Every structure is written in structure tokens, then in C-alpha cells.
Structure 1
Amino acid sequence: MINIQFSASETAWATYQDTIVAACAAHDLEIDLRQDHAAENVDYIIYAPTSDLQDFAPYTRCKAVLSLWAGVERIVGNSTLTMPLCRMVDPGLTAGMVEWVAGHVLRYHLDLDRSLQTQDLWAPKIPPLAQQRQVSILGLGALGTACATALAALGFSVTGWSRSAKHVEGITSQHGEAGLKSALQNAEILVLLLPDTGATQNILNADRLALLPQGARIINPGRGTLIDDAALLDSLNSGHIAHATLDVFRQEPLPQEHPYWAHPHVTVTPHIAAETRPITASDMLALNIARSESGQPLLHEVDRQLGY
């Protein structure tokens, strides 16, 4: 019997209890899933960073902590968490992110905001074909790669940037500081899909915003900390950046007094770009437990030094 501790909200427990049991059964795992196991008896912890569990030291038998969230910045620095930590890479979440990003890239590409406005004059403006539109994606993890591949399949000229060299079929891959500069200079539409780490905070600052082409558009479904908010507002006010669509923020919910709400060139969405889907996420959790129990490496294990 494999003892699994579920450490997340009561709402999450009601959502995930049955799907985790069913997924584990499908992987031939005999489990005892509870919220109240004695710490010394726990084999795995299914976890959300908002859980009351913050001291992992008593869980001496635990083989891995499996996060329900894609982001692990709230927990990765916990000194008591010495066992492997795995972030959630959920096929359902990935599909949702691809759809959201593709939708907003197409919205900008086709200039739908302008088309939907009431016009006093008949003034047709024909957009270029996708192959003539330069899109850059910062971050080539699972989500960034999936979005880059989907946009390339639609015909867009896609550049992807990552911290270290990566190859993704059908896109131009860049890495390092020189690669970042090139990715920004070519980006008519810029998509941010980086994790929140010390190296990525304020990666889109005033200097880097200035590298973007005049009239560039920005889409951020990644992390709120990736953007220097004051610098972005300055760039929007000057007209250098034409528009920004922002789904994530340093403080959520975004305070009602924040200037983003009233800015005519900002679209705010309430952290809806992608959400973990219980059925597909539960299958990923069960798969990782099955792999661990059979001696295989865990999937999506977090590198503590990199922070993701």
C-alpha cells in the first residue's frame, strides 16, 4: 500500500480525490490517499504551495513532493524540503495555454481590436500573412515550446529564446544575452513564458523594452514578476509599445487602483490563460508515482539551483 498525503485546499480535495484514486487504479497502484496521514508513514505528498504544510522535516519516508501547480517559486526555497520536488506539467494545462496564446497572437496579428471598433469611415486595413509576422517567445519550457510549435504551424515566423541552447523544429532558437537581444529586436509580438526566478525578475525592463520594434505588442501569461511595470507603463504612454495583454501580476487579484485597469492600451485578464485540469493532472501524478515505484526517474523534477 502506498500512502499519499494530499496537502492542498478543501476545494482542491473535493476536486481531486476521486480523479487521483481513479488514475492510480489505472496505473495498477494500490494507494491510501488521505489528508491526515501520520507524517512518518507518508510515501508521497501531493501538494499546493498555499497549503498549511510548510515543514517537511517530519516526512522522513517521503519519496517525492508532487506539486499541483506549474510554478514552484513559493516552495522551491523551503530548506526543509529535501526530497525530490516535481512541478506539474499537465497536458490539459498546456493545451489551454496554447489556445489562449494563439488566440491573443491572432487577435494582434489580425488587428481585431481595431476592426471591432465603431468606425466613422470605411477604412480597410489588410493584415499581412502570418509568415510575414515576427513572433518571439521568451521561455522554451514545456509551455513555451508547445506555443511556439502551434504558432509556427499557423505560419508565423517564430523565434524562441531560452537560458541555454535548445532546438525546436520549425522555429528559430536563440539563447544567452545576445540571443535575447536578437529575439526582442525582431518581435512584433512578444510572448512571455518564463518561470519566476532571480534571473528572470524584471527581465523586461526599460532597456529591453526599448529593443522592441516601434508598435510591438506584448502578451504575458507567464509570471507577473517578468515585467518592470513602471517601465512598461512608460513605454505604453510614449507609444513605443502599442498594447499589452497581461494575465499575471505581482499582486493578485490586481488592485482596483492599479493603472493597468484604466490604461487604454492594456488588456487585463484574471489569470485565466491556463489552469490545471483534474483528470489529466491526476494521470500525471499517478504516472510519476508509478515511475518512482518501478525505479524510473521522476518526470519534471525541479532543479533547485535553477529554481524550476
Structure 2
Amino acid sequence: MNNFTKKLFILTEQNETYQKLVESYNLPSLEITPHAREAHIILAAPPLVAPILNQCENLQWVQSVYAGVDALIKDSLRQDYLLTNVKGIFGQQISEYVLGLSIEHYRHLQLYKQQQTKANWQPHQYQTLDSKTMTIVGTGEIGTHLAKVASVFGITTQGVNTSGIPKASSPFSRIYHIDELATAISHSDIVVSTLPDTIKTRGIFNHQAFSQAQNVLFFNVGRGNSVNQAALLRALKSKQIEHAFLDVFEQEPLNDDHPYWRHPNITITPHIAALSFPEQVVKIFVDNYLHWEQGYTLHNRIDFNKGY
């Protein structure tokens, strides 16, 4: 990489924090600019940068502050630049979300909270996690980390991916091909989707996928459009799904009149299962920038054709 000054434009929900963190590293040949048009590099939240992307005349590289880059994978937007996302920082948060809510559910902690308001001393039989089988749909970094953490609780973990083949040192007891999704779910107590948004994953959790499920806890921490809404509601009604914990949705925020809001067996969280902590994101950006400066390949590069 030539030694000319590279200009960085920052566009996030926490611009000041990100700028201070980047400046603290005193990166060589890097200057932060307030003008997107002159930037060679953009450190940004994809939904914020998408509307101005085509105006950035000098753009060479966008470092997303999210794992998801759906907002930038559109035919109407340019793809003549390097796009990288953040990985390796969300597995722990997702694991805490899934396992925390699973424990809360199986141990009836919400019910006890309600009983407390009525001074009602009433114990209930509970279930433990070490008798459960968890199927994780998507065996990338997040899914693999979740499987490792879940195994500590004695949970048997199964993975579902597009190859049906386990990677080296896989923590999964079994890997199913994505075409075997319904079969994998039929052998599950807990199902967790960590899927990205691709053409093949849209609506994949449909009537067929849930057809053999029985009293399953379903978590979606991947992408909202992987779930067929009608299929999920029907599976909840038939008790194929016992409870759905949904953190991502096709439209965010959800409309006030959306049926999910008032459903007794759906828990909604506002896309907070895993947040991008600026300190961690900037560390990833700095490492990538130093690679880029020296002419090396960037880490976590997105394939526009695959969408991830």
C-alpha cells in the first residue's frame, strides 16, 4: 500500500466515541475527515452509510461496525470496494442471551416473579439444561461459540449448515445438511438460528421446517427474514414451538399492531442479543488497517455474491 494519507470517515450511532478510540491508536498515514466524499475508508453502520455510498468518490474500503451487512448487499448499490464486517466478538453475547433465557424458561423464573407480587409461595417442577438437545442453524463463529458454551451445561449440540460436514475440532455432536432442517429440528429441544441473510435462507423456517417439532424453544438471533411468520404462529398454536424468543425481524422496529407483541408465547427483544462494543470494533478495524497499509489481505472480507 502506498504511503499517501488515507482519509477515514466515521458514520455510526456513536461517532464521537469511535473517533476518540481510533485517534488513540495514532495509526500511520490515517486522517479522519468530516466529508464522506473524500474518504478512502469508511467505518460505519451499514444502514447509515448505504444512502450515501454511491456518492463516495474515493471509496476503497468499508469496515462495518456490525456483523450483518445486509443494507449494503443490494443491486442498486456499488460493489467496487472492499467490504469487511466484525467477527469474533458476538459469540459470548449470543451465548449469554440464549442460555440465560433458556434457564429462565425452564426454571419458571418469570412465573416466580409474578407470584412474588401476590405473596404466593408455590414451587413448580423445573427442567435442567443437561437433558436438552440444542440445534444451532448456522455453524459459523457465533454458532460454534454457542455450541462450546452450551456443552459446558451438558447440552447436546447439533449443527445445521450448507455442507452437512463438520469442520475440524467441531464442538457439534452431529452436523445436518440444510436440506435436513426439519429432521434436525425434530430431534431438538432448543433451536437457535444464527443464519445470515441470503437468498437461500429467506423463509427457511417454514411449515415444513417446523412440521416435526414438539415443544421446542425457538431462538432467532440471525436475520428476521429467515422466519415465515405464518408458519411460526401456526407452530406456536399447535405446540410444536413452545416459546419463541425473537431478537431480529423483517421490519425493525416492529409495527405497534404486529401480532408478535401480544402473543403469550413470544418474547421480543429489540435487536440487542449482541451489540457492537466500540472498543472491540475499533480493535478489529485497527488490525485490519495495519494489514491493509502493508498490502495484506483484509480479515472478515464479505463476498458480495454470497452476502456474507
The question of a shared fold, defined as TM-score above 0.5 by the shorter chain, is answered with yes
Alpha carbons of structure 1 residues 162 and 291: separation in structure 2 relative to 1, 3 Å:
same
> Which deviates further from its counterpart, 173-182 or 112-121?
112-121
Q: Is the counterpart of residue 145 in structure 1 residue 144 in structure 2? A: yes
Shift of the 161–229 alpha-carbon distance from structure 1 to 2, 3 Å rule, reads same
Give the share of equivalent positions with the same residue, in percent. Answer: 27
Q: How far has the Cα of 1:56 moved from its partner?
A: 5.9
Residue 256 of structure 2 aligns to a residue whose secondary structure is coil
Letter in 1 for 2:102: V
**Any stretches of 5+ residues in structure 2 without a counterpart?**
none
SS at match of 1:19: helix
1:57-96 equivalences under 5 Å are 58-59=57-58, 62-78=59-75, 79-89=77-87, 91=89, 93-96=90-93
- Provide Cα deviations, 1:25-82, integer angstroms capped at 9, x if missing partner: 3xx534101231653xx432223222242206722xx442211121111102354221
Amino acid at match of 2:136: I
Give CA deviations for 1:134-178 in whole Å, capped at 9, x if unaligned. 111111122111111111122210111112333253322424244
Q: Give, in whole Å, the separation in 2 of the partners of 1:276 and 1:123.
A: 39
- Equivalent position SS for 2:182: helix
Would you say 1:3 and 2:6 are equivalent positions? Answer: yes
Equivalent residues of 1:7, 1:53 under 8 A apart: no
Q: Distance in 2 between matches of 1:38 and 1:304?
A: 22
Tell whether 2:122 aligns with 1:125: no
Q: Match of 2:243, SS?
A: strand
Confirm or deny that 1:301 pairs with 2:295.
no
Scaled by the length of structure 1, the TM-score of the pair is 0.87
* Whole-angstrom CA distance in 1 between matches of 2:159 and 2:28: 39
Are 1:134 and 2:133 counterparts? yes
Please give the root-mean-square deviation of Cα atoms over the aligned residues, in Å: 2.3
**CA separation of 1:188 and 1:260: change in aligned 2, threshold 3 A:** same
In structure 1, what is the equivalent of residue 22 of structure 2? 20
Taking a change above 3 Å as real, the CA distance of residues 98 and 121 of structure 1, as seen in their structure-2 partners, is closer
TM-score after normalising by structure 2? 0.87
Matched residue count: 297
Label 1:297 to 1:191 Cα distance change in 2 as closer, same or farther (>3 A).
same
Deviation of 1:97 after TM superposition, in Å, equals 2.1
The answer (yes or no) to whether the contact 1:19–1:282 under 8 Å persists in 2 is: yes
Which moved further from structure 2: 118-127 or 160-169? 118-127
The one-letter code of the counterpart of 2:155 is F
- Bigger CA drift: 14-23 or 113-122? 113-122
In the alignment, is the contact (CA less than 8 A) between 2:79 and 2:304 conserved in 1? no
Structure 1 segment 238-257 matched on structure 2, within 5 A: 238-257=238-257
| TM-aligned CA deviation for residue 179 of structure 1 | 4.0
